[in-house]
Structure 1
Amino acid sequence: MTSFVELKLRPELQQALDELGYEEPTPIQREAIPVVLSGRDAVAQAATGTGKTAAFALPLLQGLEPGSRTPQALVLAPTRELAVQVAEATQRYGRQLGARVLAVYGGQPIPHQMRALSAGVDVVVATPGRAIDHLTRGTLDLSDLRTLVLDEADEMLDMGFAEDIEAIMAAVPDGRQTVLFSATLPARINGLVKRYLTDPVKIKIERPKPSAEGGASVRQVAYLVPRQHKANALGRVLDIEAPTAAVVFCRTRDEVDSLGGTLAARGYRAEALHGGMTQDQRDRVMAKIRNRTAEILVATDVAARGLDIDHLTHVVNFDLPSAADTYVHRIGRVGRAGREGTAITLVEPRQHRLLKTIEKVTKSRIAVETLPTVADLRARRLELTRGAIAELLREDDYEQYRVVVDALSDEHDIVQIALAAVKLAHESGIAGPDEDDIPEVTVAAATAAQGTKRPPKNLGDTVTIFVGLGHAAKIRPQDLVGAIANETSVAGRQIGAIEITHKFSTVEIPAAAEAEVVAALQATLIKGRKARVERFKPPSQRPPSKKKGKQP
């Protein structure tokens, strides 16, 4: 299979893929989509960033039946971030079908989720703890479920969700299709497979190797930018880089048109290229790029297929691709035949983990740099003005303007006249730049937002909370970490010391998050059980017991 067209997907899905710029399926998509479409159970081993979401989401959407009140597919994901990401992607693929996709995770008001489930949902993407919560409440009806997907299964087990997963798998109907995706396949996953999957197809995708094209001659750099500021950030970066020719990759046709207009308003000779254009329109655009009357091409992956621009100096990923081989293919367009080139990627804070995955897969370093400031921008523009004036002085064809200088020199110093002329030239070359402040996002902040498990250097002010479950309830540290990380905004790395006794546990958390954590854990289940949760009071601070001889 070399194209999505060969899959014969529903026209609505194919249209979505075209608009998103999906040209060729990734290896995991080539292997997994036909299997999932066939209805077989499957175990797929593939790394993050290889395009797994489309590998299961497209078959799920292909088989949706209209009018169902209860979920036809359930996707389990280890974290709220991944659940939201998978739900958003599935919604994009199924938009033309009117697919109803709901992300269900901790930290979001449960009544809102209950209302959405009651109204009718086709695909539910959930963290295990919140799925169990809804099953216990009777608000998640899996009686008509056709497909269960376990995404990042090894990470879910590492976070202590083994019992939740088994409870969910035991609750779904017999005969449903089960698809499991995992970066690794440890023994405990093989145990799940043997108990709950029927004659599964085994799929293993090796990590893609970086392309030989480009290589060391390509400078790779990334900027962390909030989504709402990406267009402004791109303009600022291009102003600093001053590319001879650049290709800016976007996901959708609408994004291509919008961004092309934004760059044109900034003074760039930008052209758009996407699948909605006729061949004549494509040819005209490419002619402008090749004869250098246009300097920036904003395009989708599909539209840029086979694109080869000899004088290309920059490739920009306006949207970070979800598959590492797509990233490699894009940056391979610069740095060919020994020429130097630059690959720039604008990364939203929540995508920082994906960026690190691409870096590992491609075995290349992607430097995360600070976005140029307004001061940097002004300095760069002055440098360009200086260069333009120096070039003009070398041409020696400005004698006709001497009359202006002679007339002004009677009243003004010659240096003042020169400064005024430079100011006029400089300001005339600025096409209404957008110099709004763009908030700085640090690597540390992006990592914290994703909950990357990393030992904290300093927890700052902390408090200890009491959780009324312990060894008697088979509570382990990972159960508490998983519950807090998935039900609140506190990342796993922000959780400190954990102590578990026979009847209760104590957990050290940031003081600023105490109210949020206590409220969230009181409202959810930990390993299927409700727990009393409150600020921990050492024995010396507790009131004396009313029962003689006993302490609470």
Structure 2
Amino acid sequence: MTDSPVPPPAAAAHEEPLETPTPAATDSTPEPAAAAPIPDAEPAAAAPTPDAAPAAAPEPTPDPDPDAVPDPEGTTFADLELRPELMQALTALGYEEPTPIQREAIPPVIAGRDLLGQAATGTGKTAAFALPILHRMGAVARDARGKHPAALVLVPTRELAIQVSEAIHKYGMPLGARVLPIYGGQPMQRQLKVLNAGVDVIVATPGRALDHINRGSLRLENLDMVVLDEADEMLDMGFAEDLESILDATPDGRQTVLFSATMPGRIGKLARKHLKDPITIQIERERTASGEEPQVRQNAFIVSRFHKPAALGRILDVEAPTAAIVFCRTRDQVDQLTDTLNGRGHRAEALHGGMTQEQRDKVMGRLRSGTAELLVATDVAARGLDIDTLTHVVNYDVPAAAEAYVHRIGRVGRAGREGVAITLAEPREHRMLKTIERVTKQKISVEKIPTIADLHARRLEATRAALHELLVEDDLDGARVVVETLTDEFDLMQVALAAVKLAHDGLGGGEPEDEDEIPQPTIRPEHSGPGAGPPGRGGPKGKWDKKGGAGGTGSPGPGGPGRPGGKKHATDGRPMTRIFIGAGRMGHIRPADLVGAITGESHITGRDIGAIQISDKFSLVEVPTPDADQVIAALKAGTIKGKKTTVRREKF
């Protein structure tokens, strides 16, 4: 296997990985593999007549080849021999097929091996470590479990801590799993109360985990497993020292699992120090040959989950596809979305593995004949479909892997025909779009959701096109008497306008008065340019500047020694505010401590942080002006290296 951050195209053959950030994402039944049609039974052999020659002895059936390698594509969660309680939970959630990282990681982790896994965001790695944790925990009855956690999962951000905690809770409900996320910004007393009551699994950001360890509220003597999720991002955010301190505080005999999207040298160094004879899993991805990329217009729309159905309906109204496939994650989502689209006047058909072959054939027949214009399907059910009339592919959610995206959009834009690929992305999925762009080396244009005015203009254009076609055909003599009669009383232009309005309304182009505008979420732009390397680092080699701190040029300016010339804007023009933190070199504060505290306690990332200046008794840190108050409030509520400190805007 080669070093690659993206899973193989096999991911396209699976439903969305078991990453369940919200209940809305998990209340549906994912798609099992579509069953092949069962061939007709052969006719029964006629009874032999007395004169018939004796039948030849049947040839012996050869023994199965012991060296034959099973096809991993057919692996199900049942094949991974998970506990019945876990299978019950997975069945209730509707999941059957593991993703590649789950298929390869779960058996060795259950067996107790340390593991070093490379997996991109969205490939299902949460289940790859959560299910083994719960499988082993299930060997102990709930009332016999200790008060202190058996597993600790470290993640870089509070959002991921919540997401992973919710996923583990859902999978572990039949086992009565006690799961607690701990992160900065949440009241410490609430976390202390739950810790004191007893937990099985802790999901934590490094800074807050270390705070609890130092105060003695998080005890690790019963710890069996430590998971480092998104390890490269934790190192980028300045958590290296915190991770070392936490790992040093864990029992020597613990099992360690490390997942990272990339494998830089510092990840290898961390693994060599803390992992014992690990299994290494690096999913190789298939690269698209040059010139074979689909020739399609690729657009994305950022929209909240709640507004997705309305946004999709609006987009389809404007695009007016001849035939389109809308890809969904689960069969329940397919059925619900099909009903919604039909309610909006579209001709949609559902296709998923819960249908018989006869039903599937009828659906495909209606799509190919033009009776239906939309096919709402899961990846598994849409395998092998080749529809000549297809003009659009819609990803109702961002695909889990770049190869799944390429495979989907490859169904349009063939043989020189124009195709369109549309992706609906929630704000949190914006980074996944950027990953797909980097892998495919193709631009995905982020567009605004069509407005009511856009929809009205598109409907008028459809009416104009229909009238133009009638005029070209020049078969209008039957209506001449109507026009001649009306022009005796009205102006010819008024007659024409009335006819156009009548045709427009008849084509379904009436004013959409009952619709509201769909909110368009804003996305924080990607930062680039000098000093925008790894978060909080400056210069082309990512080294800390000895004078100007981090992220700036490092040259002293008129603002004072080591201050970046009184800078009030980042290199990309964003306004910045300098905040005062009452801890400095005498308190053993390093730039990494400040970056880790800010990113751990607030919602901004290391890339957002500007120059850092550390003096003997205080530090100055630049943060984006719109986020300054939120950062100050978050730092006041938390601690830096386990201590409360003064935080405010710098006074000039």
Percent of pairs with identical residues: 59
Contact 2:296 2:421 in 1 (8 A): yes
The alignment of Structure 1 onto Structure 2 pairs a total of residues equal to: 532
Q: Return the match for 2:125 from 48, 52, 55.
A: 52
Q: Which protein has the bigger helix share?
A: 1
3-state secondary structure, aligned to 2:73: coil
Equivalent in the alignment of 2:516 = 436
> C-alpha distance in 2, partners of 1:141/1:404?
89
Contact 1:18 1:302 in 2 (8 A): no
Q: Return the match for 1:261 from 328, 334, 339.
A: 339
- The answer to whether structure 1 residue 223 and structure 2 residue 301 are counterparts is yes
Contact 1:147 1:177 in 2 (8 A): yes
3-state secondary structure, aligned to 2:257: strand
Contact 1:50 1:325 in 2 (8 A): no
Contact 2:294 2:412 in 1 (8 A): no
3-state secondary structure, aligned to 1:345: strand
Contact 1:12 1:97 in 2 (8 A): no
Distance 1:202 1:418, change over 3 A: same
Partner AA of 1:522 in structure 2: K
Equivalent in the alignment of 1:548 = none
Q: Return the match for 1:485 from 582, 595, 599.
A: 599
Equivalent positions of 1:54-453 (< 5 A) are: 54-65=127-138, 67=142, 68=145, 71-90=149-168, 101-117=179-195, 121-210=199-288, 215-395=293-473, 401=479, 404-405=482-483, 407-428=485-506, 429-430=508-509, 433=512, 435-444=515-524, 453=535
- Structure 1 position 358, deviation (Å): 1.5
> C-alpha distance in 2, partners of 1:162/1:109?
25
> C-alpha distance in 2, partners of 1:496/1:231?
39
Partner AA of 1:422 in structure 2: V
Distance 1:221 1:274, change over 3 A: same
Contact 2:582 2:645 in 1 (8 A): yes
> C-alpha distance in 2, partners of 1:113/1:208?
44
Equivalent in the alignment of 1:498 = 612
> C-alpha distance in 1, partners of 2:341/2:112?
46
Equivalent in the alignment of 2:87 = 11
- Structure 1 position 97, deviation (Å): 6.7
- Structure 1 position 514, deviation (Å): 4.8
TM-score (norm 1): 0.85
- Structure 1 position 420, deviation (Å): 1.6
Distance 1:116 1:154, change over 3 A: same
- Structure 1 position 176, deviation (Å): 2.8
**Gapped runs of 5+ residues in structure 1?**
542-552
- Structure 1 position 129, deviation (Å): 1.0
3-state secondary structure, aligned to 1:336: coil
Q: Deviations over 1:518-544 (max 9, x none)?
A: 3432333323x2042233666xx8xxx
Distance 1:259 1:474, change over 3 A: same
- Structure 1 position 50, deviation (Å): 4.4
Contact 1:76 1:125 in 2 (8 A): yes
Partner AA of 2:306 in structure 1: Q
Contact 1:253 1:274 in 2 (8 A): yes
> C-alpha distance in 2, partners of 1:314/1:95?
40
Partner AA of 1:425 in structure 2: A
Distance 1:463 1:25, change over 3 A: closer
> C-alpha distance in 2, partners of 1:328/1:95?
36
3-state secondary structure, aligned to 1:316: strand
> C-alpha distance in 1, partners of 2:98/2:108?
18
- Structure 1 position 217, deviation (Å): 1.4
Equivalent in the alignment of 2:582 = 467
- Structure 1 position 62, deviation (Å): 4.0
Partner AA of 2:646 in structure 1: V
- Structure 1 position 117, deviation (Å): 4.7
Distance 1:64 1:418, change over 3 A: farther
Moved more, 325-334 or 85-94: 85-94
Contact 1:522 1:530 in 2 (8 A): no
Partner AA of 1:183 in structure 2: A
> C-alpha distance in 1, partners of 2:396/2:402?
15
Contact 1:107 1:489 in 2 (8 A): no
Distance 1:412 1:486, change over 3 A: same
Equivalent in the alignment of 1:533 = 646
> C-alpha distance in 1, partners of 2:119/2:397?
22
Equivalent in the alignment of 1:36 = 109
Distance 1:182 1:379, change over 3 A: same
Moved more, 280-289 or 438-447: 438-447
Partner AA of 2:343 in structure 1: A
Equivalent in the alignment of 1:550 = none
Equivalent in the alignment of 2:40 = none
- Structure 1 position 348, deviation (Å): 1.5
- Structure 1 position 375, deviation (Å): 2.0
Contact 2:635 2:647 in 1 (8 A): no
3-state secondary structure, aligned to 1:344: strand
Contact 1:4 1:25 in 2 (8 A): no
Contact 1:353 1:447 in 2 (8 A): no
- Structure 1 position 83, deviation (Å): 3.0
Contact 1:498 1:508 in 2 (8 A): yes
> C-alpha distance in 2, partners of 1:502/1:185?
36
Q: Deviations over 1:138-168 (max 9, x none)?
A: 4445444332211121221222212221222
Contact 1:349 1:446 in 2 (8 A): no
Contact 2:185 2:638 in 1 (8 A): no
Distance 1:251 1:47, change over 3 A: closer
Superposed CA RMSD in Å reads 3.4
- Structure 1 position 207, deviation (Å): 4.7
